[in-house]
Structure 1
Amino acid sequence: ETKKGNCHSLPYLYKILADEIDAKAHISVAPNHFYIKHQNKGNGWYNTELTSSIFPIDAWLMASGYIHLDAIVNKLYMEALNDEQMIALNMIDLAKGYEKKLGALTQKEFILKCCDAALKVYPHYVNALLLKAETEKKTFDALMTKYNAQYPTDILKIPEAEEIFSEMTAVYSKVHDLGYRKMPEEMYLKWLVSLKEERNQYENKEISNFKSTSK
């Protein structure tokens, strides 16, 4: 209806259907985005972009400008996820659903449990790390409001506030050290459009040619 979320739901649907026919397919993470990775003997790993029906090369992913080299080295993005890591994706989707429906503060305990469980099997899952940090931040902001604090330092002598602030800053620091850089929505949309407008530049010719000749 809104045409939003296709880059999220389509890879999930594709993965479900692939599993049903025993075909190997892996979901992979990019900034604000999911896509599919396949592997064959002739071409090795290749990407499938379902929202555009194109097989893009890795250069397209890098062209966003928001995939730092550290993010690739630390497997923050572009990794072919296994089934356990896929469950972690679903857990964070569930936590975000609770957050949107019922609020982060009322569901803090459940949201953080989901984050911690997801991070056990997928320690560098950026969406889990961000959700955990942001939930802690909302909790800290609520404490500042409760105590009429103008600055964070005004309540750091309170044990609960100090613990939350310490956890929040530690997670934010970890996310940054792993190579995460926030991608603005406007830039994300331009990045997606670039795949269609500059198809010849970013399309995997070997896979596309194989697709054409196999019809």
Structure 2
Amino acid sequence: MTRLIDPHLANLSEMMKQMCDLSVTCTNLAIDAYLGGQNARKEVHDLSSQMMDLYDKVGELTFDMILRYQPVASDFRLIRSSLEISYGFTRLGRYAYDITLVRDTFGDLSDCKNEVVYTLSGEIKQMVKLAVECFATLDLEKAKELRTDEDLVDKYYNKHLPMLITLSNVKCALADALVLRYMERMADHAAFVGDSVSYIVTGARTYR
């Protein structure tokens, strides 16, 4: 039997799917453009703006459902977490845009080896993809994997960031430091998606 709230939940699901797809596209485009020496500022900005528009719509829809339908506990957890996760996706878009701004700010970075960024970039792209899959399937194992991956990113970031001060090319060191910081924050937001999925499924919060 279809409930009054069900069409609205379906609408919420569709908007969240759009945000998921945009998050992956935005992340991959920004990182690949930075490493490839390309300017993707406008494209990433447009994608990020689309995500912000969807976030506003998700917010309006979630509050409307809570006020009008008094959702049961399981629905409420999904609705509440969708709002939180949608905000996390907007942050992914913002950090992706920040990465594109680094190249605009510093100009030609073709002399930079980007070894540290190369190493971490694959992990970040995989984490964003995993976060999307985790939310789409409400998979607790993927949620645990995201936390493990986030811990590894933190260790790598904390180990390699101080090494940048030894670089003779100051411009490269500063650019890499900024991009590493943005990617570390992206990992945090991806891991938060996993935490929110755990809350949706179990009703328990995991605080870190």
Tell me the TM-score range normalised by the shorter chain: 0.3 to 0.5
Compare the two structures and name the one with the higher helix fraction: 2
Compare the two structures and name the one with the higher strand fraction: 1
- TM-score when normalising by structure 1: 0.34
Q: Which of the two has higher C-alpha Rg? A: 1
- TM-score when normalising by structure 2: 0.35
